[in-house]
Amino acid sequence: MTVFYIVAGAAVLYFILAYNGLVAARQRVKEGAADIDTLLKRRYDLIPNLVETVKGYAAHEKQTLEQVVSARSQAMNTSGLGEDKTQVENALSGTLKSLFAISESYPDLKANQNFLELQQELSDTENKIQASRRFYNSTVMAMNTKVESFPANIVAKMFGFSKEAFFELSEEEKKLASQPPKVSF
């Protein structure tokens, strides 16, 4: 009879530990997604200042500036971390590359301290976004491993835990992200 209580107690303890581990993993995934959202908002806030700085030097580059503003607006209005968000974020990154390529044609702009600071902040933010995406994907991997591993998968099914989606680029988006921007005058 004592052996039965020990086995039952161990089973209950395992279920509690497995459940708490799944909850912790889900919270880390949410934290990773929130970090990405925070950094994307920072990028959205920097872009208008950058565009205004460039406007003073490159008035005839109106189309590129409008594309940056449009891509920013579309990115801000797309929520979540799904495929739609990935596509609009990549479009925004592409327009920003074009904007920085334009700056190469304007030596005064390239030397402007405000532009240089904004460019550095945006570059720093882009690096942080990449790091946050890697963190998010590692937490998703840990969560998905827990959800699929036996016997934790039993606890996961009992309490409705499911696999999370990785932040991934499509093959076409990977190709576009690796190409330099095209700028024509």
Instruction: Give the pLDDT band of residue 183 (cuts 50, 70, 90).
Output: very low
Is 184 within the bounds of a domain? no
Is 35 within the bounds of a domain? yes
161: containing domain = 2-178
Question: What would the pLDDT profile of 2-47 be if each residue is shown by its tens digit?
Answer: 888 899 999 999 999 999 999 999 999 999 988 888 888 888 888 8
Is 73 within the bounds of a domain? yes
Is 76 within the bounds of a domain? yes
Is 26 within the bounds of a domain? yes
pLDDT at residue 73, as a whole number: 78
pLDDT (mean) for 112-121 = 75
**Amino acid at residue number 77:** N
Asked whether 41 and 120 are in contact (CB, 8 A), the reply is no
Instruction: Give the pLDDT band of residue 157 (cuts 50, 70, 90).
Output: very high
pLDDT at residue 121, as a whole number: 84
> What's the domain count of the chain?
1
Is 117 within the bounds of a domain? yes
Is 12 within the bounds of a domain? yes
Backbone φ/ψ region at 106: left (φ over 0), alpha (ψ -120 to 50), beta: beta
Is 183 within the bounds of a domain? no
Domain of 140, CATH number, reads 1.20.1440.20
Backbone φ/ψ region at 160: left (φ over 0), alpha (ψ -120 to 50), beta: left
With helix as H, strand as E and coil as C, how does 31-92 read?
Answer: HHHHHHHHHHHHHHHHHHHHHHHHHHHCHHHHHHHHHHHHHHHHHHCCCCCCHHHHHHHHHH
pLDDT (mean) for 90-116 = 70
pLDDT at residue 59, as a whole number: 59
**In the predicted structure, residue 111 carries a pLDDT above the cut 50:** yes
